[in-house]
Amino acid sequence: MMQGVLEIPEELQRLQEVVASGFERVEEVFATQLVSDLAPVDQMCEHVERYRGKMLRPMLVLLCGAASRTDLESILRSDSLDSIIDDAHITCGAVCEMVHMATLVHDDVLDEAEIRRRGKTINAMKGNETSVILGDYLIASAYELCSSLDSPIPSRIVGKASAVMCTGELLQLHNRNNFELDEPTYFQILERKTAALIGAACELGALSTLGFDQQDHPITHALKGFGCDLGVAFQIQDDVLDLTGTLETVGKSVGRDLDKGKLTYPIIHHLSNATSATRNKSLELIRAAAQGDQSQLADLIDLINETGSIQATQQMAQTYVDRAKARLSDIPEGPGRPMLQLIADAVVNRTH
Amino acid sequence: MMQGVLEIPEELQRLQEVVASGFERVEEVFATQLVSDLAPVDQMCEHVERYRGKMLRPMLVLLCGAASRTDLESILRSDSLDSIIDDAHITCGAVCEMVHMATLVHDDVLDEAEIRRRGKTINAMKGNETSVILGDYLIASAYELCSSLDSPIPSRIVGKASAVMCTGELLQLHNRNNFELDEPTYFQILERKTAALIGAACELGALSTLGFDQQDHPITHALKGFGCDLGVAFQIQDDVLDLTGTLETVGKSVGRDLDKGKLTYPIIHHLSNATSATRNKSLELIRAAAQGDQSQLADLIDLINETGSIQATQQMAQTYVDRAKARLSDIPEGPGRPMLQLIADAVVNRTH
């Protein structure tokens, strides 16, 4: 995400190099933790690679770790760059990515169920079982790795965030095909499903620098809050892309939320702002999409645009990004702040 | 399991009362940990009740905790019974049961897949998704609860045991429909899938009494080893019951292992001891069962009995029980030992 997509200005290059070298260590720890003495397990873990995403969470751990230092600027000018990111940051980064990947693997179980509904069976089923256990293996490995740290506090944070994530998923599942889903519930789902782990990643970054007993430190609070707001913005943007993107730009099939009967912000905003006639027409198209008929998705998007709901959604994402950035006034001045601001802006400006 | 099934002799009654009162506290902590501020989550958690089993793992935590005390006998004669089982035992007991229940819930996903294969679809699928997330919620809650302890060591033990369990499941999945599965691989699966968590439960019981830094203490070693051996015996007995039990006695449908293409000890022993002609006939019946045709299960069991394989399996389970009991010579004398011996015997003598 950082390289390529982000334009890193000259003065942040050195910080970017530090984070990039931390990334390599995260990847090493990640791979080492999953190695098993059983060949079949190793074989199955190779599949995990295909879930590798943007590494947003490890990046936030590393950057928040760096940004928590009051001496970041002077250290970046010195030769002891290695001291900025230590083993705790690396461990926490790998743990967050592992937990995130476990949710992707388990989401896949639900998706494969969908595919099966339309035809494929036995092979998809074998994949299904493997996905369940592989996801469990990732979660267990994440906890094992996290508990290798001296303090039980990171385990507490990760355990809590994971449990909250599950309640978000359960709440979402409970509201499947609820075409009257309201805004507060939508945000409750987002805060739990997505924001909790991203907030935890930022918190763990801060604590890895400040000490794990510093959960009440203002910097910890600020960065955890930054992560939570950013997480909400991130998920809102995901929801927009699922509706307006294409397979080509997003890299995965679009319209999946509707297909699963999941109402997202653009739809919720649209339904509560449309005329009664439009609302009925839209509901018809939404119901059709939820039943697997995506042929009228373009018509639905036209209706959604009539109420300006895509724009309103992007504005909402921007509001959360602004809120996230405002939190950064409580962290030390220096290159950490503008770098985190860049990341925050990238979250809403991304097209995939 | 203890009450009803086990005949507790007079001199162990007081220890049994202590464990029974500990049980109630485990159940309280278990329920409290899963309470959510979201009504739909609480609703779904109620389903979890139907997975409630024999509570073998919490019982072992509590008993091993008591059995690790050199002063158990004198304390049992005093009024300060409450001091035998403290919060750490209760927490560890609830954690082990939660991890175990998560695996049951996720096993159900695989089973429901089977049911679906034979007809049911949409409802089963919704159940499937709920099972995946509910299992994840149980695992996450277990880790959150475990990390509430002051030391990261119990989290390490539980994380490690969970990861090992998953590798056992993956190994088993990898060997699905492998009709040449050999004994060493079978035991490798058992040790990982079942024995690791039971061993961890016993270890956590000991450490909750001795102190979490006492992983190398001879009592810890002895009880962990006791649990691992008992776990293998327990799973072998499960495998026998799956083959020879009835829906009535076992409380769940039998023949499920074959149905899933899982070869268990009686089958492995039989195939390697039968004449070539019998072996071919048996393989035919096994293949049929693995494809869902259970009509000739009785014929298969007759063939299996010809090689004395059920008896040999029970003998193998007994060997592991004896090994488990022998480990107890390294723990303090007193009522803990005979009580654990009773449990060990009950594992192979049970019919459900």
Task: For residue A141, list chain B residues with Cβ-Cβ distance below 8 A.
Answer: 159, 163
Put simply, whether B149 touches A (Cβ < 8 Å) is yes
Tokens of A118: 């339309």
Nearby residues of B40 by Cβ (< 8 Å), 6 or more positions away: A170, A171, A174, A175
| Residue B249, pLDDT above cutoff 70 | no
Q: How far apart are CA B257 and CA B181, in angstroms?
A: 14
Nearest neighbour of B40 by CB, restricted to A121, A125, A170: A170
CA distance B278 to chain A (A): 31
Residue A221 corresponds to which amino acid? H
Q: Would you tell me which residues 88-127 of chain B have a C-beta closer than 8 angstroms to some C-beta of chain A?
A: 102-103, 106, 109-110, 113, 117, 121-122, 125-126
Q: Would you tell me which residues 33-72 of chain A have a C-beta closer than 8 angstroms to some C-beta of chain B?
A: 36, 38, 40-41, 43-44
CB of A282 closer than 8 Å to CB of A198: no
| Widest CA span in chain B | 67
DSSP helix/strand/coil, B19: helix
ipTM: 0.92
Compute the CA torsion angle B48, A106, A179, A272 (nearest 10 deg): 120
The set of long-range contacts for B70-77, using a CB threshold of 8 Å and a minimum separation of 24, is B70/B332, B70/B334, B72/B15, B72/B332, B72/B334, B72/B335, B72/B336, B73/B334, B73/B335, B76/B14, B76/B15, B76/B18, B76/B335
pLDDT digit string (tens) for B316-338?
Answer: 999 999 999 999 999 999 999 99
CB of B48 closer than 8 Å to CB of B193: no
End-to-end CA distance of chain A: 10
> For B263-281, what is the mean pLDDT?
96
Q: How far apart are CA B12 and CA B6, in angstroms?
A: 11
pLDDT digit string (tens) for B275-293?
Answer: 999 999 999 999 998 888 8
Interface contact B133-A36, CB threshold 8 A: no
Nearby residues of B80 by Cβ (< 8 Å), 6 or more positions away: none
Q: How far apart are CA B340 and CA B345, in angstroms?
A: 9
Phi-psi map region of B254: left, alpha, beta (phi>0 left; psi -120 to 50 alpha): beta
Interface contact A106-B40, CB threshold 8 A: no
CB of B223 closer than 8 Å to CB of B336: no
Average pLDDT, chain B: 89
Q: How far apart are CA B344 and CA B338, in angstroms?
A: 10
Please count the helices (runs of H) and the strands (runs of E) in chain A.
17, 0
| Residue B116, pLDDT above cutoff 50 | no
| Residue B127, pLDDT above cutoff 90 | no
pLDDT digit string (tens) for A70-80?
Answer: 999 999 998 78
Task: For residue B129, list chain A residues with Cβ-Cβ distance below 8 A.
Answer: 109-110, 113, 173
| Residue A165, pLDDT above cutoff 70 | yes
Put simply, whether B181 touches A (Cβ < 8 Å) is no
Radius of gyration of chain A (CA): 21
Task: For residue A147, list chain B residues with Cβ-Cβ distance below 8 A.
Answer: 147, 152-153, 155-156, 159
Nearby residues of A109 by Cβ (< 8 Å), 6 or more positions away: A128, A131, A132, A135, B109, B128, B129, B132
For Cα atoms B291, B292, B295, give the angle at the middle one, nearest 5 degrees. Answer: 120
The candidate with the shortest Cα–Cα distance to B135, out of B160, B116, B112, is B112
Nearby residues of A264 by Cβ (< 8 Å), 6 or more positions away: A186, A239, A242, A243, A257
Nearby residues of A88 by Cβ (< 8 Å), 6 or more positions away: A149, A154, A208, A212
Which range (A64-73, A181-190, B121-130, B319-328) has the least confidence? B121-130
Nearest neighbour of A171 by CB, restricted to B41, B128, B143: B41
For A346, counting Cβ atoms within 10 Å of its Cβ (0-12 exposed, 13-18 middle, 19+ buried), the class is middle
Nearby residues of A20 by Cβ (< 8 Å), 6 or more positions away: A2, A3
Q: How far apart are CA A193 and CA A103, in angstroms?
A: 10
**What band does B81 get if pLDDT is binned at 50, 70 and 90?**
confident
- Residue of chain B minimizing CA distance to A117: B121
Residue A101 corresponds to which amino acid? M
The reported pTM is 0.92
| Residue B349, pLDDT above cutoff 90 | no
- Residue of chain B minimizing CA distance to A121: B117
pLDDT digit string (tens) for B162-199?
Answer: 999 999 999 998 898 999 999 999 999 999 999 999 99
Q: List alpha helices for A152-273, DSSP H.
A: 153-174, 183-190, 196-210, 218-244, 247-250, 256-259, 265-273
pLDDT digit string (tens) for A207-222?
Answer: 999 999 999 999 999 9
Q: What are φ and ψ of residue B179, in 5° steps?
A: -80, 5
Q: What percent of chain A has pLDDT over 90?
A: 68
Interface contact B125-A113, CB threshold 8 A: yes
**What band does A350 get if pLDDT is binned at 50, 70 and 90?**
confident
Within 10 angstroms of residue B52's Cβ, the number of other Cβ atoms is 12
> For A48-52, what is the mean pLDDT?
69
Nearby residues of B193 by Cβ (< 8 Å), 6 or more positions away: B165, B168, B169, B171, B172, B235
Interface contact B163-A148, CB threshold 8 A: no
Nearest neighbour of A130 by CB, restricted to B152, B160, B173: B173
**What band does B104 get if pLDDT is binned at 50, 70 and 90?**
confident
**What band does A171 get if pLDDT is binned at 50, 70 and 90?**
very high
Consecutive H or E run containing A320: helix A309-327
Q: How far apart are CA B161 and CA A140, in angstroms?
A: 8
Q: How far apart are CA B117 and CA B120, in angstroms?
A: 7
pLDDT at A70: 95
**What band does B46 get if pLDDT is binned at 50, 70 and 90?**
confident
pLDDT at B110: 64
Nearby residues of B9 by Cβ (< 8 Å), 6 or more positions away: B338
Task: For residue A94, list chain B residues with Cβ-Cβ distance below 8 A.
Answer: none
Q: How far apart are CA B179 and CA B174, in angstroms?
A: 12
CB of B220 closer than 8 Å to CB of B203: yes
Within 10 angstroms of residue B6's Cβ, the number of other Cβ atoms is 17
- Residue of chain A minimizing CA distance to B162: A140
Residue in the structure block whose two tokens are 């019919």: B351
pLDDT at A114: 44
pLDDT at A50: 67
Nearby residues of A322 by Cβ (< 8 Å), 6 or more positions away: none
Average pLDDT, chain A: 89
- Residue of chain B minimizing CA distance to A193: B133
Q: What are φ and ψ of residue A97, in 5° steps?
A: -65, -40
DSSP helix/strand/coil, A274: coil
Interface contact B162-A136, CB threshold 8 A: yes
- Residue of chain A minimizing CA distance to B149: A152
| Widest CA span in chain A | 67
**What band does A233 get if pLDDT is binned at 50, 70 and 90?**
very high
Q: Would you tell me which residues 231-270 of chain A have a C-beta closer than 8 angstroms to some C-beta of chain B?
A: none
**What band does A252 get if pLDDT is binned at 50, 70 and 90?**
low
pLDDT at B246: 66
Phi-psi map region of A333: left, alpha, beta (phi>0 left; psi -120 to 50 alpha): beta
Which range (A34-38, A227-231, A234-238) has the least confidence? A34-38
Domain annotation for chain A: domains and CATH numbers: 10-349 (1.10.600.10)
| Residue A251, pLDDT above cutoff 80 | no
| Residue A125, pLDDT above cutoff 50 | no
| Residue A118, pLDDT above cutoff 50 | no
The candidate with the shortest Cα–Cα distance to B133, out of A232, A143, A103, A140, is A103
Within 10 angstroms of residue A283's Cβ, the number of other Cβ atoms is 15
pLDDT at B111: 58
| Residue B272, pLDDT above cutoff 90 | yes
Tokens of B218: 């001879």
Compute the CA torsion angle A230, A232, A238, A244 (nearest 10 deg): -110
pLDDT at B128: 76
* Distance (Å) of CA B284 to CA A147, B20, B271, B279: 48, 48, 12, 9
| Residue A142, pLDDT above cutoff 90 | yes
pLDDT at A296: 86
Q: How far apart are CA A177 and CA A186, in angstroms?
A: 13
